[in-house]
Amino acid sequence: MNINGLQKLTLLDFPGHTACTVFLAGCDMRCPFCHNSELIDVSADVIMTDEELLTFLKGRQGLLDGVAFTGGEPLLRKELPDLLKEVKALGFATKLDTNGAHPKALKSILDARLVDYVAMDIKNSPEKYPQTSGKANLDITKIKESIEIIMYSGVDYEFRTTVVDQLHDESSFIGIGQLIKGAKRYFLQAFTDRDTVVYSGFSAPAKETMEKYAEIVRKNVKNVEIRGL
Protein backbone atom coordinates (compact mmCIF):
# COMPACT_ATOMS: atom_id res chain seq x y z
CA MET A 1 0.00 0.00 0.00
CA ASN A 2 1.27 3.47 -0.87
CA ILE A 3 1.94 5.92 1.96
CA ASN A 4 1.52 9.59 1.09
CA GLY A 5 2.93 11.29 4.16
CA LEU A 6 4.66 10.60 7.46
CA GLN A 7 5.07 12.80 10.49
CA LYS A 8 7.81 10.99 12.36
CA LEU A 9 6.91 12.30 15.81
CA THR A 10 3.76 13.74 17.32
CA LEU A 11 2.75 14.29 20.92
CA LEU A 12 -0.67 15.65 19.93
CA ASP A 13 -2.30 13.39 17.33
CA PHE A 14 -2.68 10.30 19.54
CA PRO A 15 -3.78 11.16 23.09
CA GLY A 16 -1.53 9.61 25.71
CA HIS A 17 1.01 8.32 23.21
CA THR A 18 4.32 9.28 21.65
CA ALA A 19 3.45 8.50 18.08
CA CYS A 20 4.00 9.02 14.40
CA THR A 21 1.27 9.97 11.96
CA VAL A 22 0.74 8.16 8.65
CA PHE A 23 -1.11 10.04 5.89
CA LEU A 24 -3.12 8.12 3.29
CA ALA A 25 -4.42 9.87 0.18
CA GLY A 26 -7.95 9.60 -1.17
CA CYS A 27 -11.11 11.12 0.28
CA ASP A 28 -14.77 10.99 -0.67
CA MET A 29 -15.60 14.33 0.96
CA ARG A 30 -14.71 17.77 -0.35
CA CYS A 31 -14.76 19.94 2.76
CA PRO A 32 -13.99 23.48 1.56
CA PHE A 33 -11.89 24.18 4.69
CA CYS A 34 -9.80 20.97 4.49
CA HIS A 35 -6.20 21.32 5.73
CA ASN A 36 -5.00 18.28 3.79
CA SER A 37 -6.42 19.10 0.38
CA GLU A 38 -3.30 17.71 -1.30
CA LEU A 39 -4.44 14.28 -0.06
CA ILE A 40 -7.96 14.39 -1.50
CA ASP A 41 -6.89 12.73 -4.76
CA VAL A 42 -5.63 9.16 -4.47
CA SER A 43 -2.92 10.05 -7.02
CA ALA A 44 -1.11 12.26 -4.48
CA ASP A 45 2.66 11.92 -4.24
CA VAL A 46 3.87 8.66 -2.69
CA ILE A 47 6.69 8.89 -0.15
CA MET A 48 7.03 5.20 0.77
CA THR A 49 5.41 1.77 0.57
CA ASP A 50 3.82 -0.07 3.46
CA GLU A 51 6.91 -2.29 3.67
CA GLU A 52 9.12 0.77 4.02
CA LEU A 53 6.79 2.09 6.72
CA LEU A 54 7.10 -1.17 8.65
CA THR A 55 10.89 -0.97 8.37
CA PHE A 56 10.75 2.57 9.77
CA LEU A 57 8.56 1.41 12.65
CA LYS A 58 10.88 -1.48 13.50
CA GLY A 59 13.60 1.14 13.96
CA ARG A 60 11.36 3.12 16.31
CA GLN A 61 10.40 0.30 18.66
CA GLY A 62 11.01 1.53 22.18
CA LEU A 63 11.01 5.15 21.02
CA LEU A 64 7.41 5.42 19.76
CA ASP A 65 4.42 3.61 21.22
CA GLY A 66 1.68 4.59 18.79
CA VAL A 67 0.84 5.06 15.11
CA ALA A 68 -1.99 7.33 13.96
CA PHE A 69 -3.56 6.78 10.52
CA THR A 70 -5.19 9.79 8.91
CA GLY A 71 -5.97 11.11 5.46
CA GLY A 72 -7.69 11.71 3.28
CA GLU A 73 -10.04 8.98 4.45
CA PRO A 74 -8.10 5.87 5.53
CA LEU A 75 -11.13 3.57 5.33
CA LEU A 76 -11.13 3.90 1.54
CA ARG A 77 -7.99 1.75 1.54
CA LYS A 78 -8.96 -1.91 1.34
CA GLU A 79 -5.45 -2.90 2.45
CA LEU A 80 -5.72 -0.94 5.71
CA PRO A 81 -6.80 -3.85 7.97
CA ASP A 82 -3.78 -5.92 6.95
CA LEU A 83 -1.43 -3.01 7.59
CA LEU A 84 -3.01 -2.35 10.98
CA LYS A 85 -2.44 -6.00 11.92
CA GLU A 86 1.22 -5.75 11.02
CA VAL A 87 1.67 -2.49 12.93
CA LYS A 88 0.04 -3.96 16.03
CA ALA A 89 2.19 -7.08 15.71
CA LEU A 90 5.21 -4.81 16.15
CA GLY A 91 3.80 -3.71 19.51
CA PHE A 92 2.39 -0.31 18.57
CA ALA A 93 -0.99 1.07 19.62
CA THR A 94 -3.01 2.32 16.65
CA LYS A 95 -5.35 5.25 16.08
CA LEU A 96 -7.74 5.83 13.19
CA ASP A 97 -9.08 9.19 11.96
CA THR A 98 -12.26 8.92 9.90
CA ASN A 99 -15.04 11.02 8.40
CA GLY A 100 -17.63 8.37 9.32
CA ALA A 101 -18.91 7.76 5.80
CA HIS A 102 -17.95 4.06 5.79
CA PRO A 103 -19.69 2.36 8.71
CA LYS A 104 -19.23 -1.23 7.45
CA ALA A 105 -15.47 -0.88 7.07
CA LEU A 106 -15.31 0.95 10.40
CA LYS A 107 -17.24 -1.77 12.22
CA SER A 108 -15.06 -4.50 10.75
CA ILE A 109 -11.88 -2.82 12.01
CA LEU A 110 -13.34 -2.06 15.44
CA ASP A 111 -14.78 -5.54 15.87
CA ALA A 112 -11.37 -7.01 15.07
CA ARG A 113 -9.76 -4.65 17.62
CA LEU A 114 -7.30 -3.40 15.02
CA VAL A 115 -7.34 0.11 16.47
CA ASP A 116 -7.02 1.29 20.05
CA TYR A 117 -8.46 4.77 19.51
CA VAL A 118 -10.72 6.29 16.87
CA ALA A 119 -11.38 9.96 16.15
CA MET A 120 -14.38 10.81 14.00
CA ASP A 121 -14.96 14.23 12.48
CA ILE A 122 -18.45 15.63 12.99
CA LYS A 123 -18.72 18.18 10.22
CA ASN A 124 -21.89 19.98 11.30
CA SER A 125 -25.52 19.46 12.26
CA PRO A 126 -27.35 16.99 9.99
CA GLU A 127 -29.06 19.62 7.85
CA LYS A 128 -25.76 21.47 7.27
CA TYR A 129 -23.66 18.37 6.62
CA PRO A 130 -23.90 18.48 2.79
CA GLN A 131 -22.60 22.04 2.57
CA THR A 132 -19.85 21.55 5.14
CA SER A 133 -18.67 18.23 3.69
CA GLY A 134 -18.84 19.48 0.11
CA LYS A 135 -21.12 16.55 -0.83
CA ALA A 136 -24.63 17.55 -1.82
CA ASN A 137 -25.81 13.92 -1.91
CA LEU A 138 -24.18 12.84 1.35
CA ASP A 139 -26.00 9.96 3.09
CA ILE A 140 -26.33 11.24 6.66
CA THR A 141 -27.63 7.85 7.80
CA LYS A 142 -24.12 6.46 7.33
CA ILE A 143 -22.73 9.21 9.54
CA LYS A 144 -25.27 8.38 12.24
CA GLU A 145 -24.51 4.68 11.92
CA SER A 146 -20.78 5.30 12.39
CA ILE A 147 -21.43 7.41 15.48
CA GLU A 148 -23.44 4.58 17.03
CA ILE A 149 -20.86 1.96 16.06
CA ILE A 150 -18.07 3.95 17.70
CA MET A 151 -20.00 4.72 20.86
CA TYR A 152 -20.85 1.08 21.49
CA SER A 153 -17.63 -0.50 20.23
CA GLY A 154 -15.77 -0.61 23.54
CA VAL A 155 -12.83 1.10 21.79
CA ASP A 156 -11.65 4.45 23.15
CA TYR A 157 -12.74 7.37 20.98
CA GLU A 158 -13.43 11.04 20.46
CA PHE A 159 -15.70 13.09 18.25
CA ARG A 160 -14.46 16.46 17.02
CA THR A 161 -15.48 19.41 14.89
CA THR A 162 -13.26 21.91 13.12
CA VAL A 163 -15.17 25.12 13.76
CA VAL A 164 -15.31 27.65 10.91
CA ASP A 165 -16.96 31.00 11.49
CA GLN A 166 -18.52 31.04 8.01
CA LEU A 167 -19.99 27.51 8.29
CA HIS A 168 -21.07 27.08 11.92
CA ASP A 169 -23.49 28.88 14.21
CA GLU A 170 -25.43 28.10 17.40
CA SER A 171 -27.90 25.89 15.56
CA SER A 172 -24.97 23.81 14.30
CA PHE A 173 -24.02 22.84 17.84
CA ILE A 174 -27.57 22.23 18.95
CA GLY A 175 -27.76 19.69 16.14
CA ILE A 176 -24.31 18.24 16.83
CA GLY A 177 -25.16 17.81 20.51
CA GLN A 178 -28.25 15.82 19.60
CA LEU A 179 -26.31 13.80 17.02
CA ILE A 180 -23.69 12.60 19.53
CA LYS A 181 -25.81 12.67 22.68
CA GLY A 182 -24.22 10.62 25.46
CA ALA A 183 -20.79 10.48 23.78
CA LYS A 184 -17.67 9.99 25.88
CA ARG A 185 -15.84 13.11 24.73
CA TYR A 186 -16.07 15.84 22.13
CA PHE A 187 -13.60 18.48 20.99
CA LEU A 188 -14.14 21.75 19.18
CA GLN A 189 -11.07 22.66 17.12
CA ALA A 190 -10.60 26.22 15.91
CA PHE A 191 -9.99 26.44 12.17
CA THR A 192 -6.48 27.55 11.23
CA ASP A 193 -5.83 28.84 7.73
CA ARG A 194 -2.99 27.22 5.77
CA ASP A 195 -1.62 27.33 2.24
CA THR A 196 -3.16 23.89 1.63
CA VAL A 197 -6.74 25.13 2.22
CA VAL A 198 -8.25 25.31 -1.26
CA TYR A 199 -10.82 28.04 -0.64
CA SER A 200 -9.98 31.41 0.89
CA GLY A 201 -12.11 33.53 3.19
CA PHE A 202 -12.49 31.14 6.13
CA SER A 203 -11.65 32.08 9.70
CA ALA A 204 -12.02 30.80 13.25
CA PRO A 205 -14.72 32.14 15.56
CA ALA A 206 -13.77 34.31 18.52
CA LYS A 207 -12.80 32.55 21.75
CA GLU A 208 -16.03 33.67 23.39
CA THR A 209 -18.05 32.18 20.54
CA MET A 210 -16.19 28.87 20.78
CA GLU A 211 -16.90 28.75 24.51
CA LYS A 212 -20.58 29.42 23.86
CA TYR A 213 -20.71 26.58 21.32
CA ALA A 214 -19.01 24.23 23.80
CA GLU A 215 -21.59 25.06 26.43
CA ILE A 216 -24.41 24.24 24.01
CA VAL A 217 -23.00 20.76 23.37
CA ARG A 218 -22.49 20.15 27.12
CA LYS A 219 -26.23 19.79 27.43
CA ASN A 220 -25.83 16.43 25.67
CA VAL A 221 -22.16 15.50 26.15
CA LYS A 222 -20.50 15.78 29.55
CA ASN A 223 -16.86 16.03 28.48
CA VAL A 224 -16.53 18.89 25.96
CA GLU A 225 -13.22 20.70 25.41
CA ILE A 226 -11.79 23.28 23.04
CA ARG A 227 -8.53 22.78 21.12
CA GLY A 228 -6.48 25.37 19.28
CA LEU A 229 -7.16 28.52 21.28
Report the pLDDT value the prediction gives residue 189, as an integer from 0 to 100.
96
Report the pLDDT value the prediction gives residue 42, as an integer from 0 to 100.
77
Q: Give the model confidence (pLDDT) of 73-124 as tens digits.
A: 999 999 999 999 999 999 999 999 999 999 999 999 999 999 999 999 999 9
Q: Look up residue 68 and give its amino acid.
A: A
Nearest CA-CA partner of 156 in 9, 15, 10: 15
Report the pLDDT value the prediction gives residue 100, as an integer from 0 to 100.
97
Q: Give the model confidence (pLDDT) of 166-188 as tens digits.
A: 999 999 999 999 999 999 999 99
Report the pLDDT value the prediction gives residue 194, as an integer from 0 to 100.
82
Report the pLDDT value the prediction gives residue 20, as an integer from 0 to 100.
98
Percent of the chain predicted with pLDDT > 70: 100
Residue 182, judged by CB atoms within 10 A of its CB (0-12, 13-18, 19+), counts as exposed
91: cis peptide before it, omega within 30°?
no
A 10 A CB-CB count for 222 gives: 12
pLDDT mean over 10-20: 95
Q: Give the model confidence (pLDDT) of 32-74 as tens digits.
A: 999 888 888 877 888 899 999 999 999 999 999 999 999 999 9
d(CA 211, CA 226): 8
**Which pTM was predicted?**
0.95
Report the pLDDT value the prediction gives residue 35, as an integer from 0 to 100.
85
Q: Are 85 and 69 in contact (CB under 8 A)?
A: no
Task: Tell me what the pLDDT averaged over the chain comes to.
Answer: 95
CA angle 70/206/163 to nearest 5° reads 25
In this predicted structure, the answer to whether residue 155 has a pLDDT above a threshold of 80 is yes
Sign of CA dihedral 180, 72, 194, 66: positive
d(CA 121, CA 159): 6
d(CA 208, CA 210): 5
d(CA 105, CA 77): 10
Report the pLDDT value the prediction gives residue 41, as an integer from 0 to 100.
83
Report the pLDDT value the prediction gives residue 204, as an integer from 0 to 100.
94
SS3 assignment, position 119:
strand
